[in-house]
Amino acid sequence: MATIDQLRSNPVVEDRGLDSTMILNMGPQHPSTHGVLRLLLEIDGETVVRVKPDIGFLHTGIEKTCEAKFYQQVVPLTDRIDYLCPMTNNLTYVLAVEKLLGLEIPPRAMWIRLMLNELTRINSHLVWLGTHALDIGAMTVFLYCFREREEILKMFEMVAGQRMMTSYFRVGGVSMDLPLGFLDYIKNFISYFPERIDQYSNLLTNNPIWQLRTKGVAVITKEDARTLMLSGPTARGSGVDWDLRRDMPYGGYDQLEFKVPIATEGDVYARYLIRMEELRESTNMVRQTIERLPGGPVKSDAPKVVLPDREAMKTQMEALIHHFKIVTEGFTVPEGEVYQGVESPRGEMGYYVVSDGTAKPYRVHMRSPSFANLNSIGVMCEHNLLADVVAAIGSIDIVLGDVDR
C-alpha cells in the first residue's frame, strides 16, 4: 500500500519542497472511482503532479477458491470477476477448459455464445457511457443508457433466469436452449437500437462542453500504451490496432464480419468515440448471429462431462448415473495447462488454467484488463487538472471487481 511518506520521498517532490505540493486522498468512497478504489494524489494548486492507485479493497480470493471447486462449479465464480460482463468471463473460462478436454461444442451453442457475448459488450458499454457522462456532468445520457440496458438485462433473464450473474455458458455448450420468443425480442431491440446510439451521440459528440472536458485530456501515447500492456478501447484509442476477436479469433469470431475502430489522439474523447463505434459494430454482429443461427443441440455429446438432458434422466438409467456422478464427483480433465484470451469490453481478459488430472483445477489465474489498464492512470493524469482525474478514470472503464479479484 502506498503511503504519503513514499510519495514524498520522490526526488522531484523534494527538489520543489514539501510546501509546494499537497497530498490528497481520492476515495475509496469517491463515486467517480466506480468501486472501492483509493487514489493518492499529489497536487500543485489545481495541477496533478502524481497519482498512485491503492487497490485491494475488494479482494475476494476467487482464484484460490477455484482450486477447491469442481470444474463446473467454477463458472458461477467467473460471473463475479467483472460483474458488468459476466458472460464474457464465462466464455473465457469454458473455452480454456474445453481446450484441455479437446471438446468441440455444437454449432448452435457457438452462435448462441457469440450472440450473448456481443449483447454483453453492449450492456457493459451502456453502463460505461451513462456513468462516464454523469461523472462529467451530463445526466440525461445516463437515463437513456439505462433505459436500453434494462432491455438487455431482460434478455439475460429470459435465457438464464438471472439478470446479471447468469452462469449460462457451461463446459460443453450452454445450460439450455433459447426460450420461445427470444429471437423476436432481440430482433426488435436491434431494429431501434442504432437510433438510440444516435441519440447519445447527438447529446455528446459535438457538444462544446463535452469536447472541452474530453479533448486533449488524459492523453496516453501509442508507445506508452504498448509499454503499459494496455488493451481494448483504451489501447485502440491511442492507435494500437489490436483486437483478439480479429487477430486471434476464438469461439467463431472468424465467421463474423466487423470492423475494429481505431483512433490516434489517445485522449478521453478518442476513447469515447471508439466505444460509441463499438456499440454499432456489436449490434451488427448480433444481427449476423441471428441470421446464421442453426438448429440442433446446444450441448456436446460427452456424457461423462456434460450433464444429460432432464428428459433422458427420466427414462435412461445411464443418464441418471452420469448426472449423479458429475454433480457429486465432477469430471476429470487431462493434465496440462492452457491460456485462453478473449476481447472483453475493457480489453484482453485471459484465463490461465492448470490441470493435475483431477476433477478440480490445480490453478486458475485471471488476467484482467481493468488491472492492466489502471496502470495508465498515473501517466494520463500527470500535468492535468485535478478535475480531469474523474474524466480519466471514466475513460478507461475500470471495474474494481476485475482489478482486485
pLDDT digits (tens, 9 = 90+) for 179-233: 999 999 999 999 999 999 999 999 999 999 999 999 999 999 999 999 999 999 9
Same domain, 185 and 287: yes
> Are residues 34 and 179 part of one domain?
no
- Using only C-alpha atoms, the chain has a radius of gyration, in whole angstroms, of 23
Give mean pLDDT, residues 43-52: 90
Q: Does 27 share its domain with 113?
A: no
| Predicted local confidence at residue 10, as pLDDT | 52
Q: Which three cell numbers stand for residue 388?
A: 480531469
* Residues 251 and 322 placed together within one structural domain of the fold: yes
Same domain, 127 and 263: yes
Q: Give the integer Cα–Cα distance in Å for 151 and 356.
A: 42
User: CA 15 to CA 293: how far, in whole Å?
Assistant: 65
* In the predicted structure, residue 4 carries a pLDDT above the cut 80: no
Residues 46 and 102 grouped into a single domain: no
State whether 227 and 120 are in the same domain: yes
262 plus 310 within the same structural domain: yes
- H helical segments located in 56-181: 62-66, 75-78, 86-101, 107-136, 139-160
Residue 222, classified by CB atoms within 10 Å of its CB into exposed (0-12), middle (13-18) or buried (19+), is middle
The number of domains in the chain is 2
Please, are residues 223 and 235 in contact by the beta-carbon 8 Å criterion? no
Is 204 found in the same domain as 248?
yes
Q: Say yes or no: 132 and 21 in one domain.
A: no
Shortest CA distance to 189 belongs to which of 235, 150, 247, 216? 150
**Separation CA 63–CA 46 (nearest Å):** 40
What share of the chain has pLDDT > 90, as a percent?
74
Q: Residues 8, 138: one domain? A: no
Which helix (H) or strand (E) element contains residue 400?
Answer: helix 400-404
Last residue of a domain, one of 17, 35, 53: 53
77-86, 101-110, 186-195: which has the minimum mean pLDDT?
77-86
Enclosing domain of residue 27? 4-53
> Between residues 400 and 71, which one has the greater pLDDT?
71
Count the helices and strands in the chain (H runs, E runs): 19, 8
Strands 173-174, 169-170: parallel, antiparallel or unpaired by DSSP? antiparallel
pLDDT band of 405, cuts 50, 70, 90: confident
Q: Are residues 187 and 130 in the same domain?
A: yes
CATH code assigned at 211: 1.10.645.10
Cell of 95: 473455452
Say which DSSP state 109 is in.
H
This model's pTM is above 0.75: yes
